[in-house]
Structure 1
Amino acid sequence: MLNIHLTEKEFYGQLEINYKGLYTDSGNVTGIIKGDTLRGTYRYRHYGIETWHTIPIALLKKGHRLIMGEGETEIYMNMRYFRKNAPIDYQNPKFVFELSQ
Structure 2
Amino acid sequence: MKDYYAVLGIASDAPLAEIRQAYRRSAQQYHPDRNRSPEAPERFRDVQEAYETLSDVRRRHDYDENRRRNLLEKPLETAQEIWNHYLAGVLS
Instruction: Report which of the two has the higher share of helix.
Output: 2
What TM-score results when the alignment is normalised by the length of structure 1? 0.27
TM-score by length of 2: 0.29
- Relative to its length, the structure with more strand (as a share) is 1
Structure with the greater relative contact order (CA < 8 A, sep ≥ 6): 1 or 2? Answer: 2
